[in-house]
Amino acid sequence: MIIPRRVCQIGPRRVILSGIQPTGIPHLGNYLGALSNWVKLQKSAEPEDKLLFSIVGWHALTLPQEPAALLAARNDMLAVLLAIGIDPNRSILFHQDHNPHHTELSWILSCITPMGKLRRMTTWKVRSSKCSINSVLMFLKSRLAVARNSGSEDEVDESMLNAGLFMYPVLQAADVLVYKATHVPVGDDQQQHIELTRDLADIFNRTFKGTSPLFPLPTYVNTPSKRILSLKDPTSKMSKSSPDVQSRILLTDIASQIQSKIRAAVTDSIQGITYDPQGRPGTSNLLTILAACTDSDVTQVAKAYESQGHGTLKRDVAEAVEEFLKGPRAQFDRIRHETSYLDEVARRGATRAIEHSEVTMMEVKTRLGLASPVVH
């Protein structure tokens, strides 16, 4: 039985939690999306707000992983978060798999989760009905962290999918509820998972009543982010799963690599520069990148280039991306080799996380009849 070392009262303050899978070095789209929003949240949070940012290693196991590569990816992701400005003194930064309360609560929640709710999850439907054999084999070969979906009619049946892919939304709910998180900043594709988390919190609260509900119903926070598209196929998002390395810019890319990739980016033969995501996706993607890296309005950026050509635009985009990435890149190159520092950050983050989650788990077990009430 885990006895709480100290009680962390959660009052009217916000408890903000988000997580990211250890998928290796992030690309520009990752950085301009979730990661930059985490830094903004840290800067704008009130002093009494609690922020928890987690590297979710257990979620990564739903897809095939090579152990040495996963270990390196976990360390690299921690170094990335530190390099871009996540302050481990202000925020609780930790590896999910360093806190066993996540999986413990996940099992408890799985025992009250209706099967029908999980079968209706969009991610399960997509993986079980549209993931082609070729894309699975491609993933296994390249050890990618995210399987590609394809429109092939050659489908994979459910026997080729593991139970983790079916159950991971429950683990995701446990990630949130174990800290009694009140606000969860995630992308649009995760909104259904937050709705499931709210449902499970409500089911638990109504099934195992106390003097007050145990779990708050977390609020989905739609964080605005730039949709950065592939440099080679501007009809799809920039992704590490693309076999073409020229399609993405990584945090670790140096200036010459950035210039080469931007010069080779797909645009069009139309004269002048205009922002038209539907009619001119490649050109518009470059304008979006330039606006995001310079913190400018994309329509104003487009107006400044309306009489220019793609050569000028690509030159300026490459320079802006290099200026935007060079600071975090230098920090990452330094931090990733400081293994003692990374281990200490991870250890302190896990300790702080467990101090909070063990209080929740004692309350959960008491309501379930797995522990005696703590007498104060």
- Tens of pLDDT, residue by residue over 313-367, are 999 999 999 999 999 999 999 999 999 999 999 999 999 999 999 999 999 999 9
State the Cα angle at 263 between 271 and 327, rounded to 5°.
125
Residue 154 has pLDDT above 50, yes or no: no
pLDDT at residue 145, rounded to an integer: 36
The tokens 């009052």 sit on which residue?
A: 11
Helix ranges (H only) for the chain are 28-30, 36-44, 57-60, 67-83, 101-110, 115-119, 122-130, 133-142, 163-177, 191-207, 255-263, 281-293, 298-304, 310-335, 339-368
Residue 263: pLDDT band (50, 70, 90) is very high
pLDDT at residue 57, rounded to an integer: 95
Which of the pair, 12 or 9, is modelled with greater confidence? 12
Across the range 89-112, mean pLDDT stands at 97
pLDDT at residue 144, rounded to an integer: 36
- Tens of pLDDT, residue by residue over 268-304, are 999 999 999 999 999 999 999 999 999 999 999 999 9
Across the range 97-125, mean pLDDT stands at 88
Per DSSP, the residues of 131-199 read -BHHHHHHHHHHT-SSPPP---S-BPPGGGS-HHHHHHHHHHHHHHHTTT-SEEEE-GGGHHHHHHHHH
pLDDT at residue 376, rounded to an integer: 58
Residue 375 has pLDDT above 80, yes or no: no
